[in-house]
Amino acid sequence: MSRYHEVEQVIVLRGVLSAVVDGQALTANLRELSPLLKAAPDVHLEVFEVSPSGYGIHWPLVDEDISVDGLLGIVHQPDELRQSA
């Protein structure tokens, strides 16, 4: 299985996710990312799983997923919208 990202040192405290992704520190307010995460109590946000490939993070008690690309601000476009140089 190929790895999308190296995700380490993930902590969620009071609705804020802190992690090291591909060697860079990342901080995100989860309540700003998703209505489901916004409505969830802190204790539910502290229960999460990082996918083995580093593709995303899942909150099973909330049934919500966030891609690591999205956290990093990486936008993917369908092939028909891409422009070649």
> What pLDDT is attached to residue 82?
54
> What pLDDT is attached to residue 19?
95
Domain presence at residue 75: yes
Q: CATH number, domain at 73? A: 3.30.2020.40
Supply φ then ψ for residue 66, to 5 degrees: -130, 130
Domain presence at residue 2: no
Cα-Cα-Cα-Cα dihedral of 20, 8, 66, 41, to 10°? -100
60 versus 81: the higher-pLDDT residue is: 60
> What's the pLDDT tens digit per position in 16-59?
999 999 999 999 999 999 999 999 999 999 999 999 999 999 99
Q: pTM of the full predicted structure?
A: 0.81
